[in-house]
Amino acid sequence: VGVPGRGPLAQRDSREPVRTGAGGIDPGHLLAQLAPLARDLAAEAGLGRLETAVVGAAGFATLGDALRAELPGAFAREFGARRVALAADAVT
């Protein structure tokens, strides 16, 4: 979690790979891992909500159909994010 002009304020990671299925990377499983981490990071950084979310994932180009369809709405509901950027392999 970071703030423009200040860089990262806090960082976390998950050691468990996100499941994949017929629609590619499983957005529900990703969100189940990400939501508690993001909430903890926002609290640690003193942020009330996350206005912008940027997600990069290996496999987005070929495995990201379900993610592209579901993550923007899920991030708005879970974190109040008004802007979501999904970055594919070449960018990350």
State pLDDT tens for residues 24-49: 888 899 999 989 988 888 888 887 78
In angstroms, rounded to a whole number, what is the distance separating the alpha carbons of residues 44 and 26? Answer: 27
pLDDT at 4 over 80: no
pLDDT at 74: 92
This prediction has a pTM of 0.76
Q: Where are the domains of the chain?
A: 2-87
Q: What value does the mean pLDDT take over residues 46-57? A: 81
Cα–Cα separations (whole angstroms), residue 38 to 10, 18, 21, 46, 90: 10, 16, 24, 12, 24
Contact 55, 71 (CB under 8 A): yes
